[in-house]
Amino acid sequence: MNVDYSKKATNQQIRERFDKDTARFSNLETGQQTTIDAPLTMELCTEAAKYVNPNARELLDIGCGAGNYTLKMLSKVSGLNCTLNDLSLPMLEKANERIMPQTSGTVNLIQDDMRNLDLADDHFDIILVAATLHHLRNDNDWELMFTKIYKALKPGGSFWVSDFITHDSELIKKLFEDKYSTYLESLGGPEFRKKVWDYVNYEDTPRSLNYQLELLAKVGFSTIEVLHKNSCFAAFGAIK
């Protein structure tokens, strides 16, 4: 897919916005307000991971933000060694501050673009990625990340995603964008709707659920599951 991403936000611009926004991403009860069904998808992803990997020891949280998903995971599987990755140092520091007291395992922080992650093969039991993959740009980026994640999982390990998505049909895309706009207006009126869509259009390049499920199969996953979809958001994953 030959698309010009030159007018999209750079990594530095995205990082600078998130550096200033740690408080908004530090609410374990609500998750991120602009994400429809955020508490439900966090619950489903971590519960799925618990059911698949109840004896997990190694967790990787890519784009961990302030650490909500790892904290929720630790409430279900205790004592995990937690590897936390984020582009934003303030986010990582807040995640570390919140997670360290909640695990008897180690906490390892990696501040970097997720595409640069150098991960050992067959190392992690659980990999979580929430509201992060939609920042990937071209198809090579997407395949690179899904391949990295597949290789980094132990056999039997699982990968769970909660994210903003698009749709393959332009008409269905319009349907769910209209529904999301109505939801945003219910939170903060027309100005808030415009603010959110402005940064979505500037920063984000999501892919459809179909695209991502097909990519999971392409990189090697044989067991692929959809946990939830509502409007422009979905929770799904796969087992190696």
The model's confidence at residue 17, banded by pLDDT at 50, 70 and 90, is low
CA–CA distances in Å: residue 67 to residues 96, 110, 111, 152: 8, 13, 14, 20
Determine the number of helices (DSSP H) and then strands (DSSP E) in the chain: 7, 7
pTM (2 d.p.): 0.90
Q: Provide the pLDDT for residue 203.
A: 85
C-beta separation of 105 from 134 below 8 A: no
Nearest to 75 by CA among 29, 32, 136, 133: 29
pLDDT digits (tens, 9 = 90+) for 166-211: 999 999 999 999 999 999 999 889 998 999 898 888 888 999 999 9
Report CA 61 to chain centroid distance, whole Å. Answer: 8
At the fourth CATH level, the homologous superfamily of domain 11-167+206-239 is: Vaccinia Virus protein VP39 (3.40.50.150)
d(CA 200, CA 155): 35
Q: Provide the pLDDT for residue 33.
A: 76
d(CA 184, CA 200): 13
Domain ranges of the chain: 11-167+206-239
Summary mean pLDDT of the chain = 91
d(CA 11, CA 116): 12
pLDDT digits (tens, 9 = 90+) for 137-167: 999 999 999 999 999 999 999 999 999 999 9
Q: How many C-alpha atoms does 10 have within 13 Å on its Cβ side?
A: 3
